[in-house]
Amino acid sequence: MVHIVVNYSLFFQICDILGTLAFAISGLRLAASKDFDWFGAYVVGLTTAIGGGTIRDLLLDITPFWMTNPFYIICSGLALLLVILFKQRWVSQEHTWFLFDAIGLGFFTVTGIERSLSVGFPFWIAIIMGTMTGAAGGILRDVLINETPLIFRKDIYATACIIGGIVFHICDAAGLGHEITAVIVCLVVIAIRMLSVRYHIQLPVLHLKINKE
């Protein structure tokens, strides 16, 4: 299996930390609503944070990113500690975590695209992998807590990743450098995510009158 190591600048390392924390905490919060114990909650938080990238790396046939660096395991543990210690002040910080989640979504989309391109896959695969990196963790989280996936029913979420992927392609074709492209895509995803929630923009629901099977 191919080992891929990408060195990110400080800006992206901060995005990675904030995003991983925010994703893990979204898993921990939903696990808590199901009365999971600390271990169960940790697994749900960790799965939310690393699940999308893990499926991506299995499909790309490269060593899953969290297996070459214990950062993600530790960061999810830190998220559990934060939730256990500061649970009372949580509600008031809703907006902060929403912002961090959006930052994570943007950053994870960029990493998914870059890793796919770095092992030689074409752009349409990279866009799918970017979207999967950002959105599949939340789907796995909802499967583990036995709910229908939230992102299939609510808000613009994965769609922001797809648009981010297309913007990446455009920036790349326009000859923009790697670093600037990554920043632009990250900001585009964050902006789409925040605007869609602010103005309640949703995708149409699929309606179909059928006799139940």
Shorter beta-carbon distance to a second copy: residue 175 or 204: 204
Residue with tokens 């609510």: 154
What contacts 7, CB < 8 A, 6 or more positions away?
Answer: none
Q: Which of 88, 84, 90, 86 is nearest to 37 (CA)?
A: 84
CA 64-99-191 angle, to 5 degrees, is: 95
Rounded-to-integer distance, Cα 182 and Cα 69, Å: 22
Instruction: Mark 147-166 with x for binding to a second copy (rule: CB under 8 A) and - for no binding.
Output: xxxxxxxx---xx-------
Instruction: Mark 81-110 with x for binding to a second copy (rule: CB under 8 A) and - for no binding.
Output: --xx--xx-xx--x----------------
With H, G, I as helix, E, B as strand and everything else as coil, classify residue 9: coil
Contact pick of 4, 17, 73, 184 for a second copy (by CB under 8 A): 73
Window of 102-110, 138-146, 163-171, 177-185 that interacts with a second copy by CB under 8 A = 138-146
Check: CB of residue 123 under 8 Å from CB of residue 173.
no
Contact pick of 10, 37, 174, 199 for a second copy (by CB under 8 A): 37
Instruction: At 66, list the tokens.
Output: 């969290």
With H, G, I as helix, E, B as strand and everything else as coil, classify residue 6: coil
Shorter beta-carbon distance to a second copy: residue 111 or 116: 116
Site residues (CB under 8 A) for a second copy? 1, 28-29, 31-41, 43-44, 54, 58-59, 61, 63-64, 67, 70, 73, 80, 83-84, 87-88, 90-91, 94, 121, 124-125, 128, 139, 143-154, 158-159, 202-213
